Amino acid sequence: MTAAERPARKFPLALGRIAGAANGKAADGAALDGRAVLRPQHHAAHAHADAGRRRAPVGLGLDSADVRMRMVARLRAEGVAHPRVLGAFAAVPRHLFVDAALATQAYEDTSLPIGHGQTISKPSVVARMLELLLDGAAARERGDLGAVLEIGTGCGYQAAILAEAGRRVVSVERIQPLHDKARALLEPMRGARIRLVLGDGTLGHAPGAPYDSIIAAAGGESVPAAWLEQLAVGGRLVAPVHQPGRGQVLVVVDRRVDGYTHVAHEAVKFVPLKSGLSR
């Protein structure tokens, strides 16, 4: 094990350095540097203290890039083919974003609880949604996700994945303790690539619009109008949406000059989309 591959001694962990151990750089060859993520005005000290008490398990091999590469190989065997997606999963250590007691399950294809009734999504589901985003015409031409709006930061893992596959990420979380946790875990990246916002995700985040890609980690009865308005012309949105008779399915929305197209895909199971803030 090299020095770069050893687990950090405490959170916040040097995510950028650990990810770099897998491929030496970000997915597009750029270092993750720049401005810090937004700081909330409440509970920050508690989040940092909680993060500081957590430890990555020792002796389980979770600090090894080989563990992540086995997960990547499994995703590839299941049909995930986009190099940008596979590279992002190889770069970001998932075990750093789950509770220590669940870390041995971090690289299994399973969702895991992160508290407050929320979960970290299965790797295969995240990969599927990213591939759908990257299959949009503008993304294919550009080669990445461009400017991304994420609805539902959760623990921050998907935001880190999106940062590897896009150019900048604005991630909105309505639950203050989860926002604080994600800020603490992502703090070492300090990148202009990721901006964390405490807010009502159903409203999106207009100051950062328009977005080339929008992805949601919670499902409602329909796609909120604010998301559609904030989607760039040529952009693509992927979100779970409830459909009568089918339940929750992945819906892909493309914005064109003359309007929007909606295409429904496979059934999924995400937490409900809620409005307002929870402190």
pLDDT single digits (tens) 220-265: 999 999 999 999 999 999 999 999 999 999 999 999 999 999 999 9
Alpha helices in 39-101 (DSSP H): 44-53, 65-77, 83-91
The three-point CA angle 88-90-91 to 5° equals 65
Write down how long the chain is. Answer: 279
Number of structural domains, the chain?
Answer: 1
The answer to whether residue 279 is domain-embedded is: no
Q: How many CA atoms lie within 13 A of 31 on its CB side?
A: 6
For residue 118, name the pLDDT band (cuts at 50, 70, 90).
Answer: very high
The answer to whether residue 180 is domain-embedded is: yes
The answer to whether residue 124 is domain-embedded is: yes
- At 138, which amino acid appears? A
Short-list 203, 160, 118, CA closest to 19:
160
- Greater pLDDT, 12 or 84: 84
Provide the CATH number for the domain around residue 97: 3.40.50.150
CB burial readout 167-184, b (16+ within 10 A) else e: bbbbbbbbbbbbbbbbbb
Is the peptide bond between 210 and the residue preceding it cis, with omega within 30 degrees of 0?
Answer: yes
Q: Is the Cβ–Cβ distance between 230 and 252 less than 8 Å?
A: no
pLDDT of residue 123: 97
- At 7, which amino acid appears? P
pLDDT of residue 188: 81
pTM of the model: 0.79
Query: Residue 56 has what DSSP assignment?
Result: P
- Its domain, for residue 17, covers 3-29+36-272
The answer to whether residue 277 is domain-embedded is: no
The answer to whether residue 86 is domain-embedded is: yes
The answer to whether residue 268 is domain-embedded is: yes
- At 278, which amino acid appears? S
pLDDT tens-digit map of 145-184: 999 999 999 999 999 999 999 999 999 999 999 999 999 9
The answer to whether residue 217 is domain-embedded is: yes
Residues marked as catalytic? 121
pLDDT of residue 45: 40
The answer to whether residue 122 is domain-embedded is: yes
